[in-house]
Structures are given as C-alpha cells and as structure tokens.
Chain A
Amino acid sequence: MTARTDVDDLLRELAPQVLGVLVRRFGDFDDAEDAVQEALLAAATQWPAEGLPGNPRGWLITVASRRLTDIWRADQARRHREDLAGARETATPPEPSHQDDSLALLFLCCHPVLMPGSAIPLTLRAVGGLTTAEIAGAFLVPEDTMAKRISRAKKRIKTSQIPFRMPSQGEWTERLHSVLHVLYLIFNEGYAASTGPQVARGELSNEAIRLTRTLHAGLRDDPEVAGLLALMLLTDARRPARTGPDGELVPLAEQDRASWDQDLIAEGSALLSAVLPRRAIGEYQLQAAIAAIHDEAATAEQTDWAQILALYSLLERMTGNPMVTLNRAIAIAMVDGPAAGLAALAGLDTRLAGHHRLDAVRAHLLEMDGEAEGAITHYLLAAGRTTSLAERNYLTTKAAHLGARLP
C-alpha cells in the first residue's frame, strides 16, 4: 500500500456502495465482487489519466455491471441467469442508502461462518476497496495465495446461503460481535508496525479505523461500536512514539508523550465520555477507558493505576480471559507492589502454559522486585517463545541490560 491519492480515496469510498447496488440488483455476491474489483482497477488506471467522469459512482456501476455480464456469459452453466439478470434490471427495487449497503456488506463479510483469516481479507477487498495485491502485501503472503483465500471465503458465503441484508434482531448480538472482532484484528495486525519493512502493515490500522468509522456512522447508538472506535483512536494516537528509530519497541513508560497525537486522543475520549454514562458497558469500552487513562497521564508516573486496576477487574469478571488477568497483574504490581503482582500470576501457569506473554510479564515483575537472575531467565524464555520479531528484540535487549549490571 503506497500513499493514497484523491482517486484512491474516492474509489475506496465508492467500492462498497457500488458492490451493494450490484448485489442488490443481480443477487450474486461472489461474481459481483469480482466485477466491482475489476471496475475499480479500470478506474484506478483511467481516471488519473483521463480525469474523473461526471458521475463516478454511475460510471463504476455501469462498468461493473457490464463486467458481471461478461463473467456470466463466459460461464456457460450460468447462461440462464443472464436472462434473470436482464429481467431483474428492469424491476430494480428502490435502493436503500449507500450507508446501509456498506453496513450490510460488512456484516456479510464478517459472518461468523468465516474464520477470521478469511473474513479479514474479504472485508478489506469487498468493503475496504483494497486490491488483492495490496492485501497480500500487508499480510506478507503471495498474491495468488491471497486470491485463493478470498475466493474460498466467497464460496463459503454462497454455499451457506447468507442473505445480503442486515442481521435480524435474534442474531444481532452475535453478528455485531463478529464484525467488531474482525475490525479489531485488522487494527491489531497493523498496529506498532509503522517503520521499516512493515510499513504496509501499518496501513491496516488506518483501514480498520476507516471501516469502524463507517460502522459507527451507521450505528451511532451502539456503545460497543463507539467503544471500539475510541479504543482504536486512543491506541493509534501513541503510534508515533511506539517504535524507535531502528524499529525497536518503546515501552509505554518510556515513550515520548509529546509525540502522541492529541487530536486522536481528544476524539477518542469524547466518543467514550458520550457512551460510558449509558451504562451498557462492554469490553471494548472498558479497554478504551484503560487506553484513555494512559493517554491522559502527563507522565508515566502520573498514571492512575488504581483506576486501571478497577477497570481490569471489571473486564476480568466480564470476559474471564486469562490475558486480562495477566494485564491486571501488572496493574496490581503498580498499585500494591511487585510481590502482589507476582502472586496474582500464580493461577495462570496452567491456563497460559507456554505462552510468552506470561513469561514476559513475570520477568518484568521480577525485575521490579529486584530479582535480576529470575528476570533474565524469564525474559529469555519469553524471547524464545514469541513470534514477533520486534518483541523478541525487546526481550533479549532487556535481558542483556540486566545481565550487564550483574556483579
């Protein structure tokens, strides 16, 4: 993904609208998605050279529809559907707003029948308007591999006969949860990868924020959607400070807070203060609230750890997630001292057995407690187990610093 131009921005905004129209009109998500992708590629080469058409959206719909007819014509077995399409085209029902179409597409691409590994690239292409090559680049896999994955995801949607419409009341909670989870994963994939060979990945965070903004624009009243958007903004605000000049990880306590993006912090905090009083607390709002406390501390020492601890306790009760318990142990150490934090890790040995995060946190707390030898051991254990290169470098450097200070 390179720097985006105005044409790119316009195309990506129009992509889900155009796809929505085609799916509604012709009823074939799989082929319509291919047709729209080709129309977008055509526009990306023609528009910058020949100038924008008078009605860009209409242009894309026409080109994509024509392309869809070509796809069907090429496929003998589907010839009959061409007639069907012709018939349908004359009797197009009134179109819902673009916004509704974009949302319905998002719910379709993030359907729980798809594993996240399939839902993520499909969402980026069908709703985000990214090309297969861009998505493949961001995930560091060959383009052909990514194309296969997207094509399989679409087949799965087709065979599962998932309708193109917003979920019903009965399935709403599960379906929304699935959409939020996919968006959160896209954000995480790109986060803290803003330098070096991983630049393309960093773009994924921007894309996740853009998609979550679309979702929020359509579902203003949903507190968890607002919570997720706030979480992303409050976390992304720290992106400039999160990596050093050589791409190394800079821990929160050592980050240059002056380089945090205050506009993003203000926007995230405002979103959060608008929904928190509604008392429909969910896990994204809680995580966002924790991020906000970090962001609002002028120095690391001024961080309100007591409040963070209270929020993690709430989150732990709500989710039962051992990773939350792990983070809570850090908060306990900051409030009551490292020994208390280490004691809170006791129950995690079986639930997070072999997980590098447990070793990393234990090492950190042992270091706080002055236990250099133990800290080194656990830093190195964690370094051997992590699958993040930046994290491994961070952990081995920590161990080396401690080792150098040993008598």
Chain B
Amino acid sequence: MKYLIMMTQSSQDDLPPERAYTPDEVKASWAHMQQIYQELAESGELLATEKLAGPQAAKVVTSDGVNAPVITDGVYPEAKEFLAGFWMVDVDSEQRAIEIAARTSAAPGPGGKATAKPIEVRPIMDAPAPEW
C-alpha cells in the first residue's frame, strides 16, 4: 500500500530548524531524518521524498479559463499549516506507515526534546479495481 507521509510547518515564519536550534541540535535533527531515509531506502519501501521550499516562495494560481490567470504571492491566505516535505512509501500495512510517521514526528528539536509535529498519513490511490 502506498502512502504519502506529509511533514508540515505551522506558520509562515516558522523557518526550518536553523533559527531556534543550536548547531548541534540542527545536526541531531538532520541525522534523525537521514537515518529514517536510509532505512526506507534500504528496505525497498521508499518511492520518493522531497523537501519543499518555504511558503514565502509559493504562488497561488487561479484561472477561469478565459481571462489571464490571477497569480498571488505566498500560500493560501487562510492556511495554518504548510506542507514542508514528504516521504512517499510503499509498505505492507497502514500500521507501518504510521510507525514511520511517528518516528518522523519524534525528530529531536530544541533541547533534544521531540518536536512532536503532526504528520499526516494519507493513502495514495493505488489499489486494483474491485469486482462489482
């Protein structure tokens, strides 16, 4: 079963770790993610992973198909969470996807304490069509 495991950041100015973290804490956070990456790549579960540029680099595009598209800087104004990156995995069970998400959420933050950021786990449309 394929899942998208999404990491979010909670406000526009919640920059990646570098600001609130000491250099060692940044390193610890990266090492944690690198370890998950290694494990997923070696187990044959990882399909793709990307980190997104910050919400500051985003544009929102709307078009009615007739007039020139409307382009605004930034993310959806009403959004409170922004996609920061994702793992795309193919695993044996939802339980395993949740386990990966839990480990991602437990990445060390300032003071070595887990950040406990919410991680969204969403199935990818992938199942064979059933008999009807």
Binding site for B on A (CB under 8 A): 115-117, 139-142, 145-152, 188-193, 201, 235, 242-243, 249-252, 357, 386-392, 394
Contacts and interface: CB of A to CB of B under 8 A. Distances in A.
Size bracket of the B interface = 20 to 34
B43 interface: yes
Given A148-B43, A189-B128, A191-B131, 14 more contacts: A145-B44, A148-B42, A148-B44, A152-B42, A192-B128, A192-B130, A242-B129, A243-B129, A249-B132, A387-B1, A388-B126, A388-B127, A391-B130, A394-B132
Contacts of A115: 92
A141 B129 contact: no
B125 interface: yes
B129 A249 contact: yes
25 contacts: A116-B92, A139-B90, A140-B126, A141-B90, A145-B45, A145-B46, A145-B47, A145-B90, A148-B42, A148-B44, A149-B43, A152-B43, A152-B44, A191-B129, A193-B128, A249-B129, A249-B132, A252-B132, A357-B130, A387-B1, A387-B124, A389-B125, A390-B129, A392-B125, A394-B132
Contacts of B129: 191-193, 242-243, 249, 388-391
A243 B131 CA distance: 10
B86 to A, nearest CB: 16
Nearest to B42: A148
Given A141-B90, A394-B132, A387 B127 contact: yes
Contact of B125 (A191, A242, A388): A388
List the 10 shortest-distance A-B pairs measured between CB atoms, nearest first: A149-B44, A148-B44, A390-B129, A251-B132, A388-B127, A192-B129, A387-B127, A389-B125, A387-B123, A117-B92
A146 B92 CA distance: 14
A139 B45 CA distance: 12
A336 B8 CA distance: 51
B47 to A, nearest CB: 6
A389 B129 CA distance: 7
A126 to B, nearest CB: 16
Nearest to B125: A389
B116 interface: no
Interface of B: 1, 41-48, 90-92, 123-132
B131 A252 contact: yes
A201 B46 contact: no
A151 B41 CA distance: 12
B47 A388 contact: no
Given A116-B92, A117-B92, A387-B1, A141 B127 contact: no
B109 to A, nearest CB: 30
A149 B42 CA distance: 8
A390 B125 CA distance: 9
Contacts of A201: 128
A142 B47 contact: yes
B44 A387 contact: no
B124 to A, nearest CB: 7
A133 B123 CA distance: 24
A221 to B, nearest CB: 30
B126 to A, nearest CB: 6
Contact of B44 (A146, A190, A243, A249): A146
Contacts of A141: 47, 90
A239 B98 CA distance: 35
B43 to A, nearest CB: 6
Contacts of B41: 148
